[in-house]
Amino acid sequence: MSENFLYLTRPGIDTHQEPVVYMRNDCHVCRAEGFSAQSRVRVCTGERSIIATLNIVTGDFLSHQKAALSEAAWRLLNPQEGDKAYFKHAPAVDSMGYVRGKLYGKTLSQAAASDIIRDINHGLFSDIQLAAYVTACAGNRLSTEETISITRAMVESGQRFHWGEDMVLDKHCVGGLPGNRTTPIVVAIVAANGLLMPKTSSRAITSPAGTADTMETLTEVTLSFERMRKVVREQGGCLAWGGSVSLSPTDDIIIRVERALDLDSEGQMVASVISKKVAAGSTHVLIDIPVGPTAKVRSAEVARHLSDALCKTGAALGLNVKTIISDGTQPVGRGIGPVLEARDVLAVLNNAADAPDDLRQRALTLAAALLEMGGKAAPREGLQLAQQTLQSGAALRKFEAICHAQGGLKPLHPAKHQHVIRAPKSGIVALFNNRVLARLASLAGAPNAPAAGLDLHVRLGEKVEAGQPLMTIHAEASGELEYALDFYNTHPEVLRIEEEVV
Amino acid sequence: MSENFLYLTRPGIDTHQEPVVYMRNDCHVCRAEGFSAQSRVRVCTGERSIIATLNIVTGDFLSHQKAALSEAAWRLLNPQEGDKAYFKHAPAVDSMGYVRGKLYGKTLSQAAASDIIRDINHGLFSDIQLAAYVTACAGNRLSTEETISITRAMVESGQRFHWGEDMVLDKHCVGGLPGNRTTPIVVAIVAANGLLMPKTSSRAITSPAGTADTMETLTEVTLSFERMRKVVREQGGCLAWGGSVSLSPTDDIIIRVERALDLDSEGQMVASVISKKVAAGSTHVLIDIPVGPTAKVRSAEVARHLSDALCKTGAALGLNVKTIISDGTQPVGRGIGPVLEARDVLAVLNNAADAPDDLRQRALTLAAALLEMGGKAAPREGLQLAQQTLQSGAALRKFEAICHAQGGLKPLHPAKHQHVIRAPKSGIVALFNNRVLARLASLAGAPNAPAAGLDLHVRLGEKVEAGQPLMTIHAEASGELEYALDFYNTHPEVLRIEEEVV
């Protein structure tokens, strides 16, 4: 069967993370191997091989001599245009047996978890197999022991940083709260006190901004690992994008499927958070859990359970974890979107009179806990030290020094188009829907258009008069502004105003 | 946003059943709508709209003015090349909320089951959402009540036949046993006794032959509904392919995902079988459940549980169901593959001296039960009537009459290439692995090459001498013969010979 090859070509089709191979149904390889649409196929060049899902081509877009690879498949196999490749049926994925076992009530052992995560990491799970795994873990079906096994397997599947220090601080927020951009302030305060906090953050996936998106409006965030290490050595902290280093790569694959299914698995979320922190070389991590009806965590009970799982899993992996359960009923600060959030962060660091007090207080609370964890302040004295660091300007100087070390501090540019939304009636601001607000900011263009987003002018419980500005929509293109307005007009639940009860 | 259209084109990409739309990432629609790879997109022409998964194209294979549809998407939307289409984000699939609820322990109500099945039938579930649904139902998580609700929903989702008779007989085998081709013989015996048995069968999906594949070697099986009705009116029975009529269409979608995941859900299997029989207009159904370590059902306990669920679900849908638990430890008859199985069927119908007795006995047992269910024989007297019908030649005449009514009786053509596999040592035939045998026959080319497959020369418990023929591999192409032989040489567990214990 030595003639069983085709020449590889790259039509530039982005199937997201699932590797796909395209072949003509009447090419000699398809016929000889008995492939059909959706077959799982091993594609092999001299050096490397991958597993891909087959899409059969019947039209003229592909020659009989060629097989096309999707972008994900091309990146994994990394061939040259025109390289020869050989094809055969992919073997069954043995670790799917553990997923089936879990469905029938068996416990996932460490060996099972390791095999599953290794196979996911090697691209052996198709999208529907990933969906089955995620579903089997959903509905609180993972015990703490199983979560620990998965976490350990995820750490083993990727790179791991070693900072050569006994105390490496980190923070994390389980998310779901627009504008909650405390990280730059917290890193500045903590690093200004001589503690090590080499922070890597993510970009937005479905939200209007991630910390990396916000920091990118102010400085360079795509740092090589060597550059990042230099910044941290000089400044004690950094504010970099974590995506250029491969920490817990399996997590990205799993999260994509969870998002598409809108399925949260507590165990999988815990494994995701803890594995990334361990891989980042952290030793002490503070985790913010905002609770509110439209936040990711919706009740105090769920938050306590999650907190317990995070602490126990962290401990099993040698990580000191502390959690803070915080208010998640409304956005934090005024801006939602990269530039608008960066503006709020700078206002707090500059001790500006009009800086949003809620963002300031939350950042101080988190920084205080980290200063205590790091031994720079006695228990209950962290807040005072954090306040001093902020008020004295030491935090601002540290922030600016980090930005300069990362490549310079850039000025912020406001959006071209702005539209003020006014109160349709007088009353009390009774409810913010965080999810709908986030969607509105995304439709206005955030984070791809960095200056786009929302600027909120009112807070929960505030009294407003009919016609008073509630928020301003910022957009960089008139089409996006229109699109966001259309959405606002059909989604009045973004912000509820109730009659004042006298 | 009236300019938000692209022209549709059909590059001929077969993504199996998932509708996919391809767009350039820099086309105005992608940019205006903020689509990204894997977005679920509503594609709308003037008359119709579908939901498709987006694959982003970055290369030159697609123009900025065009959107390409996969074959599944093209069939669903049914546009003309060059038609204008409009695009927007697909709404969330509300019925996925019921799937999530099921994962968290809620019971699926009739309303929930109806919404899920309707949305699956309308193509609103992506492949990973289907995988989540299948996984949520696996592991015996469906109660009989839930199974009944799903069955009812599946019946409502497709066409339904009405034969205008009080007694419409049918049979089904839950499968997994190669060569178990009793249906043509059973239909001939039952119809020869004046009962109505309008049998539709499936083609093979993963097995080496379905009843439709076998019958197609002898006569025409792709009948229009009108033609089928005419055959049944004249002959009292037919042996047609069920795929050209849309009975329980949702089932095909679900089964594809179950197969890809290798996940069996008893509840889903029961819903599949019963919904198709109800939709086919049957009133009395006999279900054969072969049990064996390498059959689909592996223990008597599982078979009894399945039998109970089939009978209760049938009763809830107004269907009289009877089950027979049969021996599933080895293939039935000698041939595996369309032509070789048809040869065995004809031998039994012709009362040939060398006709395989196991096939004959199984067909008689099933026919006897149906004659009793249909009131043509008193309890326990069906077998005698079935034997008489077969021995007198009445069954053969009825079979030939049905074939002529369907379009004529064709001669069988043997395969070009044959290779005899001989016993490597003397001993007793101790085990057949049905699954590996089926795979071997498939690799030899069955069912696409109708004459391909296996001809078995020994039975379980038989004493063989070293060098004695065990089976003959039949293939229509030398490459396929080689491929099957390679597989046989690496999979000796196909047939185990053990030393005779003296």
Checking if the pLDDT of B431 tops 50, the result is: yes
Contacts of B257 in chain A (CB under 8 A): 128
Q: What is the pLDDT of residues A161-184, one digit of tens each?
A: 899 999 999 999 997 799 999 999
Q: How far apart are CA B129 and CA A260, in angstroms?
A: 8
Q: Which residues of chain A lie closer than 8 angstroms to B70, CB-CB?
A: 55
Which residue in B has a C-alpha nearest to residue A129's C-alpha? Answer: B261
Residue A2 pLDDT grade (very low, low, confident, very high; cuts 50, 70, 90): very low
- Could you tell me which chain B residue has the CA closest to the CA of A23? B13
Cβ of B59 and A13 within 8 Å?
yes
Q: Verify whether the Cβ–Cβ distance A260 to B128 is below 8 Å.
A: yes
The CATH class of A96-156 is mainly alpha
SS3 assignment, position B42: strand
A33 neighbors B484 (Cβ within 8 angstroms): no
Residues 6+ apart with CB under 8 A from B383: B364, B365, B368
Q: State residue B7's pLDDT score.
A: 95
Q: In the numeric block, which tokens belong to residue B197?
A: 């048995």
- State the DSSP code for B500: -
Percentage with pLDDT > 70 across chain B: 99
**Of B128 and A33, the one with more pLDDT:** B128
Give the pLDDT score at B176: 74
ipTM confidence score: 0.83
- Its sign, for the CA torsion A70, A74, A80, A86, is negative
Report the amino acid identity of residue B244: S
Q: How many angstroms from the chain centroid is the CA of residue A341?
A: 17
Q: Give me the pLDDT at residue A168, please.
A: 98
Amino acid at site A498: E
| Closest chain A CA to residue B447 | A34
Contact A131 B136 (CB under 8 A): no
Chain A nearest-CA residue for B445: A34
pLDDT tens-digit map of B70-121: 998 999 999 999 999 999 888 778 899 999 999 989 999 999 999 999 999 9
Alpha-carbon span A129 to A254, nearest angstrom: 11
pTM exceeds 0.90 for this model:
no
Whether the CB-CB separation of B113 and B151 falls below 8 Å is answered with no
B284-291, strands of its sheet edge to edge: B169-173, B284-291, B320-327
CA A276 to chain B, closest CA, distance in angstroms equals 25
Confirm whether A327 is a catalytic residue. no
Alpha helices in A104-143 (DSSP H): 110-121, 127-137
The alpha carbon of residue B322 is apart from the nearest alpha carbon of chain A, in Å, by 28
Q: Do A128 and B127 touch (CB under 8 A)?
A: yes
Interface test with A, best of B13, B256, B262 (most A CBs within 10 A): B13
Model confidence pLDDT, tens digit, residues B159-176: 888 999 999 999 999 977
Q: What is the pLDDT of residues A181-194, one digit of tens each?
A: 999 999 999 999 99
Dump the DSSP string for B214-276.
HHHTTS-----HHHHHHHHHHHSEEEEEGGGS-SSHHHHHHHHHHHHHT---HHHHHHHHHHH
Is residue A1 very low, low, confident or very high in pLDDT (cuts 50, 70, 90)? very low
Q: Per-residue confidence at A244, pLDDT binned at 50, 70, 90?
A: low
Q: Are A104 and A71 in contact (CB under 8 A)?
A: no
The pLDDT of residue B246: 67
Which residues contact residue A190 at a Cβ distance below 8 angstroms, ignoring those fewer than 6 apart? A169, A197, A237, A367, A370, A371, A374
Contact B12 A59 (CB under 8 A): yes
> If pLDDT is split at 50, 70 and 90, which confidence band does B378 have?
very high
Minimal C-alpha gap between B443 and chain A (Å): 8
A140: chain B residues, CB-CB within 8 Å: 104
Substitution target in A22, A28, A35, A38 with the highest count of B β-carbons within 10 Å is: A38
Short-list B241, B250, B254, B49, CA closest to B159 = B250
Find the catalytic residue in B83, B127, B252, B264: B264
Write the DSSP assignment of B331-374 as a string of letters: -SSSEESHHHHHHHHHHHHTT-TTS-HHHHHHHHHHHHHHHHHT
Q: For residues B400 and B411, what is the distance between their CA atoms, to the nearest angstrom?
A: 12
Higher pLDDT residue, A422 or A3? A422
- Give SS3 for B37: coil
Contact B61 A100 (CB under 8 A): no
> Domain-by-domain residue ranges, chain B?
5-89, 169-244+273-406, 417-498
Provide the mean pLDDT of chain A.
92
Find chain B residues with C-beta within 8 A of A206's C-beta. Answer: none
Select from A332, A302, A403, A370 the least CA-distant residue to A181. A332
CATH topology of domain B169-244+273-406: Pyrimidine Nucleoside Phosphorylase; Chain A, domain 2 (3.40.1030)
In sequence order, the β-bridge partners of residue B240 are B200
Query: In whole angstroms, how far apart are CA A372 and each of A281, A380, B406?
Result: 20, 8, 85
User: CA-nearest residue of chain A to B22?
Assistant: A13
Is B127:B155 a contact under the CB 8 Å cutoff? no
Nearby residues of B385 by Cβ (< 8 Å), 6 or more positions away: B193, B368, B371, B376, B377
Q: Is the pLDDT of residue A126 over 60?
A: yes
> A126 to chain B, minimum CA–CA distance in Å?
9
Cβ proximity of A311 and A323 under 8 Å: yes
Backbone torsion region of residue B370, taken as left when φ is above 0, otherwise alpha when ψ lies between -120 and 50, otherwise beta: alpha
Angle at A36 between CA A35 and CA A37, to 5 degrees: 135
The angle formed by the CA atoms of residues B87, B90 and B91, to the nearest 5 degrees, is 140
Angstrom distance (rounded) from CA A394 to CA A392? 5
CB contact under 8 Å between B13 and A61, yes or no, is yes
Torsion of CA A449, A450, A451, A456, to 10 degrees: 110
pLDDT reported for residue B3: 65
CA-nearest residue to B3 within chain A is: A479
User: What are the pLDDT digits (tens) for B219-238?
Assistant: 999 998 889 999 999 999 99
Q: Does domain A5-89 have CATH number 2.40.40.20?
A: yes
Same topology for domains A96-156 and A169-243+264-406, yes or no?
no
- What is the distance in angstroms between the Cα of A41 and the nearest Cα belonging to chain B? 13
Instruction: Give residue A3's pLDDT band: very low, low, confident or very high (50, 70, 90).
Output: low
B310 pLDDT higher than 90: yes
What would the two tokens of residue A319 be? 């990580």
Q: Which residues of B touch A22 (CB under 8 A)?
A: 13
pLDDT at A264: 77
Candidate from A13, A127, A138 with C-beta closest to B127: A127
According to DSSP, residue A243 is labeled G
Residues of A in contact with B10 (CB under 8 A): 59
Pick the residue of A89, A94, A124, A261 with the most B CBs within 10 A to test the interface with B by mutation.
A261
pLDDT at B334 over 90: yes
Given an 8 Å threshold on Cβ–Cβ distance, is A131 in contact with B135? yes
Catalytic one of A83, A127, A252, A264: A264
Test A13 with B129 for CB contact under 8 angstroms.
no
Q: What is the pLDDT of residue B466?
A: 96
Q: What pLDDT is stored for residue A343 in this prediction? A: 98
pLDDT surpassing 70 at residue A97: yes
Residue with tokens 């959006």: A415
pLDDT tens per residue, range B202-216: 888 778 999 999 999
Q: Which architecture does CATH list for A169-243+264-406?
A: 3-Layer(aba) Sandwich (3.40)
Q: How far apart are CA B103 and CA B131, in angstroms?
A: 13
| Chain B residues touching residue A60 (CB < 8 angstroms) | 12
Find all residues with CB under 8 Å of B97, minimum gap 6, and list them.
none
Mean pLDDT of B487-502: 86
Angle between the A394-406 and A183-192 helix axes, to the nearest 10 degrees?
100
Confidence band for A245, pLDDT divided at 50, 70 and 90: low
**Is there a contact between B480 and B452 (Cβ–Cβ < 8 Å)?**
yes
What are the φ and ψ backbone dihedral angles of B3, each rounded to 5 degrees?
Answer: -90, 5
Report the range of poorest mean pLDDT among A409-418, B249-258, B300-309, B432-441: B249-258
Of B59, B105, B131, the CB nearest to A139: B105
Residue in B closest to A480 by C-alpha = B32
- Is the pLDDT at A240 greater than 50? The verdict is yes
Task: Report the gap between the CA of A412 and the closest CA in chain B (Å).
Answer: 24
Count A/B contacts: CB-CB distance under 8 Å: 144
CATH dotted code for B417-498: 3.90.1170.30
Q: How far is B269 from chain A (nearest CA, A)?
A: 16
Of B88-92, B243-247, B435-439, the range with the highest mean pLDDT is B435-439
Contact A417, A475 (CB under 8 A): yes
Query: Between the CA atoms of B102, B105, B111 and B112, what dihedral angle is there, to the nearest 10 degrees?
Result: -10
Asked if A121 and A250 touch (Cβ cutoff 8 Å), the reply is yes
Lowest mean pLDDT among A435-449, B272-286, B389-403: A435-449
- Candidates B283, B267, B273; CA nearest to B242 is B273
